[in-house]
């Protein structure tokens, strides 16, 4: 019986099936790109052709029509088993498409025809493979809610400047979804969002990604110098420096698939070591049985926690297609951040156990387990939020304190 994360819709089942079809190929390529520290562009090409890269685009525009975050997480989980680097880049693109599709549905509900048509055009570009999005939301040394990348108003629009780190998937991105600050008409700092074409004047991607793990994720820095944003193209995400409803929504919908990726990495490590134990006939040793049992218990708990949080989030977003009430959003954010903290730590524990069970073999660079051992450690660092901010948030919500 398969206890993996399961989809909840036909569209989700199609996504999972297509992602599973890529697992072996992604895994076979992963070690090469890990050694070279290079983004596997051929993986993205394959994912476009199979329809995975347009999974969260509505069917009427050529996508699979995946809406449920639980479906999305199940698909990213399967990609994570093959190659974590490709999976986290794919997740960010699909999350951006998910947000665009949600905004398109909201515009249709309220009768905003102009916005509905503009968003529909973007979704068609994603479905055709013409638009691939990388998210720019992290700056070296700055908390995610306090970006210093800023937009300054000009005569005909805004001009955006700053430096962004961890632009995962940037080598294949055609567009960057950027988070920044800008001043409102009253002079107050606000969190802004906008999408900028990669070939826009002032956009420079640095070829500088060199990390311990996720070496094939293409998470380079991107420098923006006076990049033009037309009037009306900035999304207002609320007060700068505060955990606004917008960022709470991002911390759930954008990170759900990331957590599933790290669970997939742990599942890949488990499968590798169980195969190794079986081929060497070492399964009759009690110490090995006990450590394998620890992996099984941790995996079951992590899967259950993630499925539970994804189901809660899906009910929340489905019940509120326009705007989620702040109080409900705050509690679900804390709930999911607890799941993120738990699952990413359990994933590390599972891979650690797999490394111990493998003995010296897993320590060799030629063994895929050594890559999984490094990749899985990025889980707790993923924003929003890292483990320290997440624990503070969870504790404050539980205690009824202002967030």
pLDDT band at 280 (very low <50, low <70, confident <90, very high): confident
Q: Tell me, what's the pLDDT at 329? A: 95
pLDDT over 90 at 357, yes or no: yes
Residue 3 lies in a domain: no
What is the rounded distance in angstroms from the CA atom of residue 357 to the CA atom of residue 224?
47
Residue 354 lies in a domain: yes
Residue 176 lies in a domain: yes
| CA neighbor of 37 nearest in space, from 210, 168, 172, 167 | 210
Q: What are phi and psi of 304, to 5 degrees?
A: -65, -45
Residue 2 lies in a domain: no
State whether 207 and 259 are in the same domain. Answer: no
State whether 97 and 173 are in the same domain. Answer: no
| CA neighbor of 93 nearest in space, from 217, 7, 9 | 217
Q: Tell me, what's the pLDDT at 2? A: 87
Sign of CA dihedral 383, 389, 390, 396: negative
pLDDT digits (tens, 9 = 90+) for 261-274: 999 999 999 999 99
| Residue after which a domain boundary falls, among 239, 266, 297 | 239
Q: What are phi and psi of 152, to 5 degrees?
A: -115, 135
State whether 309 and 344 are in the same domain. Answer: yes
Q: Tell me, what's the pLDDT at 213? A: 98
Q: State what percent of residues in the chain have pLDDT above 90.
A: 92
**Whole-number average pLDDT of the chain:** 96
Residue 1 lies in a domain: no
**Domains: count for the chain:** 3
pLDDT digits (tens, 9 = 90+) for 53-111: 999 999 999 999 999 999 999 999 999 999 999 999 999 999 999 999 999 999 999 99
Q: Return the exposure string of 334-354: e unless at least 16 CB atoms fall within 10 Å of the residue's CB, then b.
A: bbbbbbbbbbbbbbbbbbbbb
State whether 107 and 67 are in the same domain. Answer: yes
Domain of 161, CATH number, reads: 2.40.110.10
Domain of 325, CATH number, reads: 1.20.140.10
pTM greater than the 0.85 cutoff: yes
Mean pLDDT of 145-150: 94
Residue 349 lies in a domain: yes
What are the tokens at 217? 């994720």
> In Å, how far are 88, 244, 301, 397 from 247, measured between CA atoms?
19, 5, 27, 16
State whether 126 and 261 are in the same domain. Answer: no
Residues 6 or more apart whose CB falls under 8 angstroms from that of 130 comprise 174
pLDDT over 90 at 155, yes or no: no
- How many C-alpha atoms does 178 have within 13 Å on its Cβ side? 33
- How many C-alpha atoms does 72 have within 13 Å on its Cβ side? 34
State whether 75 and 168 are in the same domain. Answer: no
Where in the sequence is the domain holding 98, given as residue range(s)? 10-131
| Residue after which a domain boundary falls, among 239, 272, 303 | 239
pLDDT over 90 at 219, yes or no: yes
Residue 334 lies in a domain: yes
State whether 119 and 234 are in the same domain. Answer: no
pLDDT over 90 at 121, yes or no: yes
Domain of 41, CATH number, reads: 1.10.540.10
| Residue after which a domain boundary falls, among 75, 99, 131 | 131
State whether 144 and 261 are in the same domain. Answer: no
């Amino acid at each position: 019986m398969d206890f993996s994360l399961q989809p909840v819709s036909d569209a989700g089942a199609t996504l999972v099936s297509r992602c599973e079809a890529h697992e072996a190929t992604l895994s076979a390529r992963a070690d090469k790109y890990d050694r070279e520290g290079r983004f596997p562009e051929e993986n993205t090409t394959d994912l476009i052709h199979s329809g995975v890269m347009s999974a969260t685009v509505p069917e009427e525009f050529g996508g699979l029509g995946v809406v449920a975050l639980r479906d999305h997480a199940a698909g990213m989980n399967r990609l994570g088993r093959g190659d974590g680097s490709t999976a986290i880049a794919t997740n960010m693109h699909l999350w951006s498409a998910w947000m665009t599709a949600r905004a398109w549905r909201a515009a249709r509900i309220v009768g905003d025809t102009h916005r509905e048509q503009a968003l529909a055009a973007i979704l068609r570009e994603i479905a055709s493979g013409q638009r691939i999005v990388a998210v720019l939301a992290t700056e070296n040394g700055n908390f995610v809610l306090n970006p210093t990348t800023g937009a300054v108003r000009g005569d005909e629009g805004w001009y955006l400047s700053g430096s962004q780190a961890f632009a995962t998937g940037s080598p294949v991105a055609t567009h960057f979804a950027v988070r920044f600050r800008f001043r409102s008409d009253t002079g107050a700092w606000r969190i802004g969002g906008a999408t900028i074409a990669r070939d826009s004047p002032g956009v420079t991607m640095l070829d500088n990604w060199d990390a311990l793990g996720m070496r094939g994720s293409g998470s380079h820095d991107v420098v923006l110098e006076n990049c033009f944003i037309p009037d009306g193209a900035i999304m207002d995400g609320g007060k700068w420096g505060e955990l606004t409803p917008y960022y709470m929504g991002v911390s759930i919908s954008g990170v759900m698939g990331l957590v599933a990726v790290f669970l997939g990495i742990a599942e890949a490590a488990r499968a590798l070591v169980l195969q190794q134990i079986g081929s060497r006939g070492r399964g009759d040793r009690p110490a090995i049985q006990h450590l394998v049992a620890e992996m099984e218990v941790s995996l079951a708990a992590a899967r259950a926690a993630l499925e539970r949080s994804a189901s809660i989030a899906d009910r929340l977003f489905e019940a509120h297609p326009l705007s989620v009430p702040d109080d409900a959003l705050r509690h679900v954010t804390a709930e999911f951040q607890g799941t993120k903290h738990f699952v990413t730590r359990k994933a590390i524990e599972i891979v650690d156990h797999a490394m111990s069970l493998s003995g010296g073999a897993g320590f060799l660079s030629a063994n895929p387990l050594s890559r999984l051992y490094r990749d899985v450690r990025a889980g707790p660092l993923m924003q929003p939020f890292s483990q320290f901010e997440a624990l503070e948030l969870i504790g404050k919500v539980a205690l009824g304190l202002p967030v």
